[in-house]
């Protein structure tokens, strides 16, 4: 292996490189995305040291190869593989000995054949990436033109590699934490869906059992009871699937002119049977000023349907044998207290669509958690996604949802939506 070359008597410390080194080190701290970080480190390093080729290699135990996580200027046949053979490479020696190497006339050095084969390499440096006392990889840069690297260049690369190794380790830890958080979130989601599905299946089995018993006894009233149980739980499965689809996708509203009165009537028609079972009277009072909305019809339908279904269930569980579910709407200015509560810096006009019920109300300590995914104040009877989906839809329309509840007196959910003017004949439809 090459011995360090003696410095020329006139060579001075490379102080003029310090501003560039500082710029590079600062840039390294600008991102925690590992792929972006590696490419940034390599690009800035090559620019500073005027190199034409470069790579960052990390040792992969499973394949016993040096994985190429970033590269610039290398032949396609090398980058396409994504790795270089570990055995006999300069990078292997640097990793095992934890020492930097500066090589001139690389093509004449048999130790460099694994990398230099077929490449016009004139001078090259390979420096260890050291993190937590270990050397998991190297940073390698090469000049293909006749201008040799100096010992000062090697010193500069060592400084950069030290900072790069810290940045890479932080990025890897960040990605590992993200992965762990995602797995934990997936676990919580699966558990919540499984619990909800189990409860629905219990209801379906109960309804089927009642129908079977009623058939044997020829009790048709009992058949109706069992059928209602099956229908209710079938509807809950449908709602769960729709809520999951809505919640899992980021959407931009496809706005059209929506007749709010017609939309509410459609919702009342679809929930009429459930309202009858819950002894909930349906009513609406819509301000003529906001009967026409420019919004995503399907999404507003889903949001209001979730709120009306919740209100009917609240009446079913309420203190009285019957109750009322009402949908009201009014148009207000941005300085309205309701708008100011949920939207900062609002301007223009807003439509407030309220869904109220005379049910049991929601305990105050549960209110902050209502819009969290898979949280349900209805126990096993809720999917825990309806309100999360409703808020998501409202925010995709640049609005929000508010809730007010008084135990024993009922609950009011308010959908706050900005008034958007429909396009003129020479303006394309809005999707935002």
CATH code for the domain of 30: 3.30.450.40
Domain boundary among the residues 153, 179, 205 is at 179
- Residue 330 domain flag: yes
Pair 325, 415 in one domain: yes
Which tokens go with 102?
């500066």
User: What is the CATH classification number for the domain harbouring 426?
Assistant: 3.30.565.10
In this structure, the answer to whether residues 160 and 308 fall within a common structural domain is no
Domain boundary among 179, 196, 231: 179
Domain that holds residue 174: 15-179
Which of 156, 179, 202 lies at the terminal end of a domain, its last residue?
Answer: 179
pLDDT at 189: 62
- 322 inside domain: yes
Both 271 and 130 in one domain: the answer is no
d(CA 366, CA 370): 6
The answer to whether position 128 is within a domain reads yes
| pLDDT score, position 325 | 95
The answer to the question of residue 267 being in a domain is: yes
125: left (phi over 0), alpha (psi -120 to 50) or beta: beta
Q: Are residues 258 and 389 in the same domain?
A: yes
Residue 269 and residue 367 in one domain: yes
Distance of CA 242 to the CA centre of its chain: 19
Do 284 and 153 belong together in one domain?
A: no
- pLDDT for 262: 92
324: which strand partners?
281
Residue ranges in the chain modelled with pLDDT below 50: 1-15, 114-116, 379-380, 430, 432
Same structural domain, 22 and 152: yes
Q: Is residue 204 part of a domain?
A: no
- Token digits for 295? 């919004």
Give the distance from CA 239 to its chain's centroid.
23
Structure tokens at 291: 């009967």
Residue 160 and residue 257 in one domain: no
Cα–chain-centroid distance for residue 182?
9
Domain-located, residue 221: no
5 falls within a domain: no
Domain count, the chain: 2
- Whether residue 64 lies inside any domain: the answer is yes
Domain shared by 143 and 256, yes or no:
no
Q: 147 exposed, middle or buried (CB, 10 Å; 0-12, 13-18, 19+)?
A: exposed
Do 342 and 262 lie in one domain? The reply is: yes
Q: What are the respective helix, strand and coil percentages of the chain, to the nearest 5? A: 50, 20, 30
Q: Say whether both 167 and 313 belong to one domain.
A: no
Same domain, 145 and 288: no
């Amino acid at each position: 292996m090459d011995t360090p070359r003696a410095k020329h008597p006139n060579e001075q410390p490379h102080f003029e490189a310090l501003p560039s080194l500082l710029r590079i080190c600062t840039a390294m701290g600008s991102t925690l995305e590992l792929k972006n970080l590696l490419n940034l480190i390599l690009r800035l390093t090559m620019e500073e040291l005027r190199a034409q080729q470069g790579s960052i290699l990390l040792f992969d135990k499973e394949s016993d190869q040096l994985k190429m996580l970033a590269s610039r200027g290398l032949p396609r046949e090398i980058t396409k593989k994504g790795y270089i053979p570990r055995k006999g490479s300069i990078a292997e020696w640097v990793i095992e000995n934890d020492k930097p190497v500066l090589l001139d006339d690389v093509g004449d050095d048999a130790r460099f054949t694994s990398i230099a084969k077929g490449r016009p390499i004139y001078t090259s440096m390979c420096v260890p990436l050291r993190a937590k006392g270990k050397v998991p990889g190297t940073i390698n840069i090469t000049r293909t033109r006749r201008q040799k690297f100096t010992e000062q260049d090697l010193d500069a690369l060592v400084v950069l590699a030290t900072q790069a190794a810290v940045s890479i380790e932080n990025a890897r830890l960040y990605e590992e934490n993200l992965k762990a958080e995602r797995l934990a979130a997936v676990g919580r989601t699966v558990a919540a869906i499984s619990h909800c599905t189990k409860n629905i299946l219990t209801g379906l089995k109960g309804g089927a059992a009642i129908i079977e018993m009623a058939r044997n006894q020829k009790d048709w009233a009992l058949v109706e009871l069992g059928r209602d149980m099956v229908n209710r739980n079938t509807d809950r499965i449908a709602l769960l699937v729709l809520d999951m689809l809505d919640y899992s996708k980021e959407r931009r509203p496809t706005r059209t002119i929506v007749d709010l009165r017609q939309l509410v009537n459609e919702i009342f028609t679809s929930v009429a049977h459930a309202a009858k079972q819950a002894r909930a009277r349906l009513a609406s009072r819509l301000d003529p000023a906001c009967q026409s909305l420019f919004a995503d019809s399907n999404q507003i339908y889903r949001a209001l349907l979730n709120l009306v279904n919740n209100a009917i269930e609240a009446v079913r569980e309420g203190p009285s044998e019957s109750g009322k579910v009402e949908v009201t709407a009014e148009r207000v200015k941005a300085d309205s207290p309701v708008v100011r509560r949920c939207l900062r810096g609002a301007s223009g006009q807003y439509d407030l669509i309220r869904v109220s019920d005379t049910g049991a109300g929601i305990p105050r300590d549960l209110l902050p958690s209502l819009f969290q995914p898979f949280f349900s104040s209805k126990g096993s009877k809720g999917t825990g996604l309806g309100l999360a989906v409703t808020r998501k839809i409202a925010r995709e329309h640049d609005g929000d949802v508010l809730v007010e509840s008084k135990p024993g007196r009922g609950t009011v959910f308010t959908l706050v939506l900005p008034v958007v003017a429909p396009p003129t004949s020479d303006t394309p439809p809005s999707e935002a």
